[in-house]
Amino acid sequence: MTEKQPEDVRPDGEITLSVDGTLATIHISRPNKLNSFTIPMVEQLESHLATIDDSEDIRVVLVTTAGERAFSAGADIKAFSQLSATRMWSQWIRRGHALFDKLAGLRQPSIAAIDGNAFGGGLELALACDIRVMANDAKVGLSELGIGTLPGWGGTARLQKTVGVARAKRMIFTSKMIDAATALDWGLVTDVADRSEVVAKATEIAHQVASRAPIALQMTKQIIDGQSGEGVRLTLEALGSAASSATDDFMEGVTAFRNKRTPEFTGSFDDPASR
């Protein structure tokens, strides 16, 4: 059994990053406020995602949270309700949207351990992960219309891609929370476990993922995302650039550039046997 980490009493909360071999764990700790996000926490997560993206050792990312009351309630309502409309747009919407896009776009697969209720931005956080494991007694939903706003961190797009347009509209229009059985049936989560076993189950899956060939794994993730319509242009450019870097022409072009001469291209690929 894996127990959740003890509660953090810091009012602004904290998001930490720990790395154990090839597994990176992002831990969100503001349980006294349902692990809701403050601006300092957004800044911390931005920094951690940059570290993960730059790492050649990390193969999979696990997202966990502290406390027993909720996985995450998303953005701190009290914090963002005090902002002007302009700062709401620049500080919360644009920045949070870009942050969750960054999480979704990591080279490494990510897994959310939803061992408590996830609503609003908390569900959007989970939806930005590739795999979701949920507690069998938890509920999830996008509740923003209930407070006069709407999902602003990618929830409308990612939810309808995950569960379909009609079900996404039903959840969002009614602010309806769905239980784990429904979430599993709709494909919103991939696995359901007892609350005390969610992190352990997510970690087990993480180790399975980490055992795969890392470059092929990361390319596969990018291809799947591209085929689903997410980042098609970037996917094509990235894979095309990767393929061209394996050609003799690329090596010839770089060598010619360094030596200030005209390259002589042959149109052949690098032969591993000749190395």
Assign 6 a pLDDT band (cuts: 50, 70, 90). very low
Other beta carbons less than 10 A from residue 97's beta carbon: 16
pLDDT tens figures, 101-134: 999 999 999 999 999 999 989 999 999 999 999 9
CA distance 240 to 249: 14
Question: Which uninterrupted H or E stretch holds 251?
Answer: helix 248-259
Could you give the domains of the chain?
Answer: 14-210 (3.90.226.10), 214-265 (1.10.12)
List the one residue out of 212, 225, 220 whose CA is nearest residue 22.
Answer: 212
CA distance 90 to 67: 30
Known catalytic residue at 124: yes
CA distance 34 to 250: 51
pLDDT of residue 229: 66
CA distance 191 to 198: 9
Q: Is the pLDDT of residue 34 over 80?
A: yes
Tell me the three state secondary structure of residue 53.
Answer: helix
With a CB cutoff of 8 Å and minimum separation 6, the contacts of 206 are: 23, 60, 62, 111
CA distance 3 to 132: 18
List the one residue out of 18, 217, 237 whose CA is nearest residue 107.
Answer: 217
pLDDT of residue 4: 47
pLDDT of residue 150: 78
pLDDT of residue 143: 87
Active-site entry in 124, 204, 237, 252: 124
Known catalytic residue at 68: no
Name the most confidently modeled range: 53-57, 72-76, 233-237.
Answer: 53-57
pLDDT of residue 28: 96
Q: Picking from 18-32, 37-51, 52-66, 87-101, which range would have the lowest pLDDT averaged per residue?
A: 87-101
Active-site entry in 43, 68, 144, 264: 144
Name the most confidently modeled range: 88-92, 184-188, 252-256.
Answer: 184-188
pLDDT of residue 153: 83
Q: Is the pLDDT of residue 5 over 60?
A: no
Residue 207, token pair as written in the block = 């180790």
Q: Is the pLDDT of residue 190 over 80?
A: yes
Q: How high does pLDDT run on average in the chain?
A: 85
Sheet holding 110-114, edge to edge: 14-20, 23-29, 60-65, 110-114, 131-135, 191-193
DSSP state of 152: -
Which is more confidently placed, 1 or 39? 39
Other beta carbons less than 10 A from residue 132's beta carbon: 26
**Which spans in 117-174 are helix H?**
121-127, 155-163, 165-174
pLDDT tens figures, 197-227: 999 999 999 999 999 999 999 989 988 888 7
